[in-house]
Amino acid sequence: MSATDVSVLADYAPIPRAALGPALNEQGYYVDRVERNLYWVTDGVYQCAFLTTSDGVVLLDAPPTIGNNIQRAIDEIAAANGVSNKVEYLIYSHHHADHVGAASLFDKNATRIGHEETRRLLLRDDDPARPPNEETFQDHRTLEIGGERIDLAWHGPNHSPDNILIHLPDHDTLMLIDIVNPGWVPIYQSNLSEDIPGYLEAPANALAYSWKHFIGGHNGRLGTRDDITLHQQYMADLVESSRKAIDSVDGTPYYQQFGENSWAAVKGILDETARRAAAPVAEKYTGVLAAADVFTEDVAFQVMQSVRLDLGYGSWVHP
């Protein structure tokens, strides 16, 4: 592996302190109570959560970057409270390996629950690190485990075809993965989302529930309703700026410049459109949302494409 010349790496704006979470322990994780017997775990980049109940531990996601520290966090809390540390239930938010890729660390007899599409995709992927969920649901399911209520809901595709919302009403908490990164902008392609209209709709679905604490799956702190609202504003600004950028870019010079190389012209037009869409939004949110100067242009590209292709904005029919 060759060394990287750090002198050529980009220099970015400072991270707003409010975006950062608590310090990790020596083993590289942080665990704390959300409400009552609901706890969350983070390594500063990924998050999961668990409930301690009279029927054992209910684990919500199992990111591989946290890996065996998940059980260490559970052991720490269980020992302090004199409760079982055995994971008896594992709920999958969706099928992606970065959020459930440590699922195989837990007892093969643990009950795994998720959306019906999650099971189909995990069977397709055939990844031994992600045993498919045996129990499924289609739109809504309410679990009662050890006297604790967990509501599962699928509102349609967003980040992925199977990404669900997990609501714990008795713990004033909502978990929705890979949509809002509290305190931060999304990364590439709106958090690598497959369905941009669904992604844009998902925060409103989340806010329709009653909750105080938000678990978004990424970065180092919990979120609030204000974090969701700020994310909505950021994305709405990108949609509006994308419309203006589409209207402003003239593709003629690109086709004149590149002649027969039509893909070079298309790349030039789309890259310039994304750049124009991103510029005012990145300026507005730098210092407000972490990494606005890092990822806004990448996010703008996919949003702009959705405005064009899903909404049909800027389309024209040859006379």
Indicate whether 5 pLDDT > 80.
Answer: no
Q: What is the mean pLDDT of residues 9-24?
A: 93
pLDDT, tens digit (0-9, with 9 covering 90-100), for 72-98: 999 999 999 999 999 999 999 999 999
Residue 272: the pLDDT is: 97
* pLDDT of the residue at 209: 98
Choice among 4-8, 25-29, 189-193, 265-269 with the minimum mean pLDDT: 4-8
pLDDT at 91: 98
Beta bridge partners of 176: 165
Sequence-separated (6 or more) residues with CB below 8 Å from residue 308 = 246, 314, 315
**144-179 per-position pLDDT tens digit:** 999 999 999 999 999 999 999 999 999 999 999 999
pLDDT on residue 317: 85
Token readout for 211 is 């909750």
What's the pLDDT at 95?
Answer: 98
Burial of 317 (0-12, 13-18, 19+ CB in 10 A): exposed
pLDDT (0 to 100) of residue 246: 97
Interior angle at CA 12, CA 196 and CA 197, nearest 5: 5
What domains appear along the chain, each with residue ranges and CATH number? 17-181+213-221 (3.60.15.10), 235-309 (no CATH)
**pLDDT, averaged across the chain:** 96
